[in-house]
């Protein structure tokens, strides 16, 4: 009985540490999403001074193996009855991105899918270091690395326009 008790004590301590670390990573991911949405809304304020686009952040159920169930923020843009959503895929995505000027793809540290009209879709990826990038073109995910460019106001406006 002493061996099992010692094992359980050590295992419980390790699991508590892992849970705390996963909680910190989840909070960092949620903060990154909220910072992204703040930036996107600032750009919208500049390009939509008449507030024709209704902007809301909805919380929807999300689930990742590392975190379990949690609430995911989704930025929803509505122009009359046309809707565009920035829908987080996951913090731990399998997608790799090819950053400008780099030949070797790196693992993205989170991804957001832009869903608008029709079947065309676009992805935003968070690179190591926290900077957001966007796919160069509307295209399916590429398992060998997705070519991306920095997300900026001009590119944001272009994909929103194409998505409505």
pLDDT in tens, 62-107: 999 889 899 999 999 999 999 999 999 999 998 899 999 998 999 9
Q: What is the mean predicted confidence (pLDDT) over 48-60?
A: 96
pLDDT surpassing 80 at residue 140? no
pLDDT surpassing 80 at residue 6? yes
Beta strands in 23-145 (DSSP E): 54-64, 68-79, 82-90, 96-98, 106-107, 111-115, 121-126, 132-135
Exposed/middle/buried for 25, CB within 10 Å: 0-12, 13-18, 19+? Answer: middle
Q: How confident is the model at residue 163, as a pLDDT?
A: 86
| H or E segment to which residue 6 belongs | helix 2-47
| Mean pLDDT score across all residues of the chain | 91
Q: How confident is the model at residue 120, as a pLDDT?
A: 64
pLDDT surpassing 80 at residue 139? no
State pLDDT tens for residues 15-33: 999 999 999 999 999 999 9
Strand 132-135 versus strand 111-115 pairing type: unpaired
Q: How confident is the model at residue 141, as a pLDDT?
A: 66
Q: What is the spatial order of strands in the sheet that 146-150 belongs to?
A: 54-64, 68-79, 82-90, 111-115, 121-126, 132-135, 146-150, 96-98, 106-107
- Residue ranges per structural domain of the chain: 2-163
Q: Are 154 and 111 in contact (CB under 8 A)?
A: no
Distance, CA of 70 to chain centre:
14
């Amino acid at each position: 009985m002493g061996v099992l008790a010692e094992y359980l004590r050590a295992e419980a301590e390790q699991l508590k540490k892992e849970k705390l670390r996963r909680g910190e990573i989840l909070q960092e991911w949620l903060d990154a999403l909220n910072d992204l949405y703040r930036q996107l809304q600032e750009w919208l304020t500049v390009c939509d001074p008449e507030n024709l686009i209704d902007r809301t952040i909805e919380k929807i159920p999300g689930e990742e193996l590392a975190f379990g169930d949690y609430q995911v923020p989704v930025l929803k843009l509505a122009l009359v009855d046309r809707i565009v959503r920035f829908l987080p895929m996951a913090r731990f995505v399998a997608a790799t991105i090819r950053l400008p000027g780099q030949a070797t793809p790196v693992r993205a540290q989170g991804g957001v899918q832009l869903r608008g009209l029709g079947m065309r879709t676009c992805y935003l990826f968070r690179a190591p270091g926290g900077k957001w990038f966007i796919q160069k073109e509307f295209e399916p995910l590429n398992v060998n690395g997705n070519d991306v460019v920095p997300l900026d106001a001009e590119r944001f406006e272009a994909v929103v326009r194409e998505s409505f």
